[in-house]
Structure 1
Amino acid sequence: MNSSPGPELLAACWTSAGDVMPARGSDRSPVPIRERIEAVAGTGYTGFGLTRPDLVAARETIGLGEVAKMFADNDITHVQLEWITNWWTTGEARKLSDEVRRDLFEAAPVLGVDNIKVGADDDGVPVSRDVLCEQFDALASDGAAAGVKIAFENTPFSHHVKTTEQAAQFVKDVDNPNGGLILDIWHAFRGGTDYDVLPEIIPSRFVFGVELDDGWTVVRGTDLEDTFDNRVPCGEGEFDVPKFINAVRRIGFDGPWGVEHMSQEFRQLPVADALIRARDGVLQCFAVADRAANRDDT
């Protein structure tokens, strides 16, 4: 259980999922959900992330009420679900997207979900920005009716919203109070964002979550391979995580801080060991960030 002072940490879904690779076959975690929740809580996190495949598996086996009880028993106070894409399109892709939306929205009040992550991952089919804005506005309003915030995360492999600057402008243009951003350091760095501009480009009311990780300046393999396979614990790479933390703090955000780790190495570790390594790296970066902030204040 988490009883120590310090930043509240949320273990994003892949951080506790074990040996499973996103977008390569089944996204189901091989680790039982009870084991994951207990490992997350036992290593000091107060937040838990869950994908739709694992959510549905838990719903069909033990029931979402039992999952909610596990969260309560383990002092998990922040819950995040993911991932909705193709919310702007039509046809079969939209039908499948709406099925995901339904499952996540129905689970939200049962589990006490903070936000649902959505993105603009796509196959390059053209769509106007007006349609994208209109459909995100509708998605955010539907989320409000379901009692859950909709958090948009830009990715460098999207054809529509690649950079953090573009994502910030996007949610500001939509201007739905229930539609905000996930600020992920990985995508900010890969998109060439200067961390110092973050407080200038995004008001605090639009920051629904933050994700921390680390990596290398040079992309290894494709963008997708690099994103899924080559992250390292915070402080071990070249992303300057403490600087990002302090930039986000200047926006007015102070947690819970998502810790999202995906790598070939981490998928081979016992879940608790992976969570500890990810946690320790983040906490060291917060210590460095605190010292830097204190120097700036003197």
Structure 2
Amino acid sequence: MTTAPAPDELLATCWSSAGDAASDRADLRSPLSLRERVEAASAAGFRGFGLLSDDLPAAVTAYGLTGIRDLLADNGITHLELEGIPWWWDVGAHEQESFRVRHALLEAAEVLGARHLKVTPDGDDGPWDRGLWAARFAELAAQAHDVGARLGIEFFPWSNVASLAEGLQLVTAAGHPAGGVIIDTWHVARAGTPPADLAAVPLERIIGVELNDADECVVGTLFEDTVHRRRYCGEGDFDLTAMITDLRSAGWTGPWGVEILSDEHRTQPVGEALRRAATSARHALETAPALAS
């Protein structure tokens, strides 16, 4: 008798449930309460949830860390992603602020049982010290490991860590087993990375995967395009079937993050937006061939 494969689990990344909030605004905080967001994600069938560091203080004030833990558990959320440590690589003017946010996220990760922390590169793409970045990433990966989590860096095509290859180079230089990359299909496609390259990524270096889609042509800058014009899975021009198939070839079984950032998405009621995000992502996963057992 054959056993049916476990269904793919979805994780709503922080921006997917944030409502009318965007990463190009001065205030990154979501206007929605954590309860609204978690309950909407659960109702849409998500079993993972992402929370931005900017939204953590209000959530802690409202519920306390143990209250957040209970809220997630009561709604069937078993995978938690925490993200957003500004200037995590800095040893200069921003170090104190970076340390404050880092401490808060690490404390939350330990109490909440977070799956991983996510950090991002320097979007200004200025000169940078690769050795320093590798050392700081290794330090943060060790701290994440100490609280039972892992650490992933998400590469951005407009940044100093612009591609999957560059992200893997940084992670390899850091050399900590708890460190790896976050693979977002938008960044894979916009960086011109062939989907087949995904199959060769060592599974132990894949911390998270994020699904989304977009039109073939970029409108405005890459940053403007990614913040305002992403599309739901299957509604754009990406070869999601190939990307999902190759990620499965690498051994990835989830959770599959769904990260939708667009003017269309953020102006819908959060429940409706998350249902559409989940339904389209499930369809993309079901369309991609499953690996033979």
Residue 173 of structure 2 is aligned to residue 173 of structure 1: yes
Q: TM-score, normalised by structure 1?
A: 0.93
Structure 1 residue runs of 4+, over 4 Å off?
A: none
Give unmatched runs, 5+ long, in structure 1.
Answer: none
Quote the Cα distance in structure 2 between the aligned partners of 1:120 and 1:231: 20
Residues 259 and 278, structure 1, Cα contact 8 Å, conserved in 2: yes
Quote the Cα distance in structure 2 between the aligned partners of 1:191 and 1:123: 16
Q: TM-score, normalised by structure 2?
A: 0.94
Q: Which residue of 1 aligns with 2:282?
A: 283
Q: Measure how far apart 1:31 and its partner are.
A: 1.1
Q: Which residue of 2 aligns with 1:129?
A: 130
Q: Which residue of 1 aligns with 2:148?
A: 147
1:217-236 superposed matches below 5 A: 217-236=216-235
Residues 125 and 158, structure 2, Cα contact 8 Å, conserved in 1: no
AA at the equivalent of 1:167: G
Quote the Cα distance in structure 1 between the aligned partners of 2:123 and 2:198: 26
Q: Which residue of 2 aligns with 1:243?
A: 242
Q: Which residue of 1 aligns with 2:187?
A: 187
Residues 164 and 183, structure 2, Cα contact 8 Å, conserved in 1: yes
Give unmatched runs, 5+ long, in structure 2.
Answer: 1-5
What SS class does the counterpart of residue 63 from structure 1 fall into?
Answer: helix
Quote the Cα distance in structure 1 between the aligned partners of 2:145 and 2:80: 16
> Residues 267 and 36 from structure 1, CA distance in 2 versus in 1: closer, same or farther, beyond 3 angstroms?
same
Q: Which residue of 1 aligns with 2:93?
A: 92
Q: Measure how far apart 1:122 and its partner are.
A: 4.1
What SS class does the counterpart of residue 150 from structure 1 fall into?
Answer: strand
AA at the equivalent of 2:59: A
Q: Which residue of 1 aligns with 2:106?
A: 105
Quote the Cα distance in structure 2 between the aligned partners of 1:88 and 1:39: 34
Q: Measure how far apart 1:125 and its partner are.
A: 4.2
Percent identity between the two aligned chains: 41
Quote the Cα distance in structure 1 between the aligned partners of 2:123 and 2:81: 22
- Deviation sequence 1:171-220 (CA, Å, 0-9, x none): 123221011111111111111000102222x2101111100000012111
Q: Which residue of 1 aligns with 2:81?
A: 80
AA at the equivalent of 1:162: A
Q: How many residues align?
A: 288
Q: Which residue of 1 aligns with 2:120?
A: 119
